[in-house]
Amino acid sequence: MAAQLVVVGQELNIIETIYDRIAKEYADAFTAEHDKKPKDQEILRRFSQEVGARRPVWDLGCGPGQTSHYLKDLGVEISGLDLSGKLLEQASVLHQGIHFRKGDILDLEFENDSIAGVVAFYAIVHFTEEQAMVAFREVFRVLQPDGLFLFTYHIGEGTIRVRAFLGKKVDIDLMFFTNDFISRCLKENGFEVIETIEREPYPGVEYQSRRAYVFAKKTSLRNGTNKANPAHE
């Protein structure tokens, strides 16, 4: 039996280790997930239409690449980024022709104002509220003016401790966020919230929590500058 892995304070290196350990199982379970979720398909079609031919577009927290693949099939020139190197290995095998790279959404290695669009499906599910705020700040920093941001999350309050996932022992928090909190964080970081779309969970397909999709846009630079992370200037 594999040793139990514990996340203390949602440390990123431990999150990475857990997903490295379950990478194959995760890829097998989630590679075709959008095929089972009509609302995902509708939302991703809308994103592809709104981002159009602008580039570059990045899928942050891409996992095994299912969202990158779906958007590529819709004509979006997209690349994927994830914390887990093993998940990226799965993505590269499953979705050849898409560029994937290792990285941290809390400290993105992109220049300011360099990205046309960002999609992040459930990329903040293991983040504290403070970490979510940092992630939004980083996305704002790297987006071009009028850049489009689409992301998803579980609606609710508090956390659930997950002890087993995909047949393996883990010990990690699944975070829930209220719509009010998300909206406030986005606005505090300079985003215009275009729309928040809620849905009920699909029975037998996914964890039974209510979901939200958010479309947001980078508006004018805060205070006339964009100094969310001076280290990247």
Mean pLDDT in residue range 160-176: 80
Which residue type occupies 92?
S
pLDDT band at 233 (very low <50, low <70, confident <90, very high): very low
Residue 75 falls inside a structural domain: yes
Mean pLDDT in residue range 119-148: 96
Residue 102 falls inside a structural domain: yes
pLDDT band at 171 (very low <50, low <70, confident <90, very high): confident
Average pLDDT of the chain is: 89
As given in the structure block, the two tokens for residue 52 are: 């159009």
User: What pLDDT, on the 0 to 100 scale, is given for residue 172?
Assistant: 79
Residue 24 falls inside a structural domain: no
Residue 138 has φ and ψ, to the nearest 5°, of: -65, -40
Maximum distance among all Cα pairs of the chain, rounded to whole angstroms:
56
User: What pLDDT, on the 0 to 100 scale, is given for residue 225?
Assistant: 40
pLDDT band at 161 (very low <50, low <70, confident <90, very high): confident
pLDDT band at 222 (very low <50, low <70, confident <90, very high): low
Alpha helices in the chain, H assignment, sequence order = 12-21, 23-30, 38-51, 66-73, 85-94, 129-142, 179-188
Q: Residue 217 above 60 pLDDT?
A: yes
- Domain containing 88 — which CATH number? 3.40.50.150
Lowest mean pLDDT among 16-25, 86-95, 127-136: 16-25
Q: What distance in Å separates the CA atoms of residue 81 and residue 83, rounded to the nearest whole number?
A: 7
Range of the domain at 82: 31-160+177-224
Interval 4-59: pLDDT, tens: 443 334 578 888 988 899 999 989 989 888 999 999 999 999 999 999 999 999 99
Residue 21 falls inside a structural domain: no
Rg of the chain over Cα atoms, rounded to whole angstroms, equals 17
Q: Residue 223 above 90 pLDDT?
A: no
Residue 53 falls inside a structural domain: yes
Residue 128 falls inside a structural domain: yes
Q: Residue 181 above 60 pLDDT?
A: yes
Residue 23 falls inside a structural domain: no
Q: Residue 67 in contact with residue 34, Cβ under 8 Å? A: yes
Q: Residue 190 above 80 pLDDT?
A: yes
Q: Counting every residue, how long is the chain?
A: 233
Share above pLDDT 90 across residues of the chain, in percent, rounded to a whole number = 74
Residue 209 falls inside a structural domain: yes
When divided into structural domains, the chain yields a total of: 1
Q: Residue 84 above 90 pLDDT?
A: yes
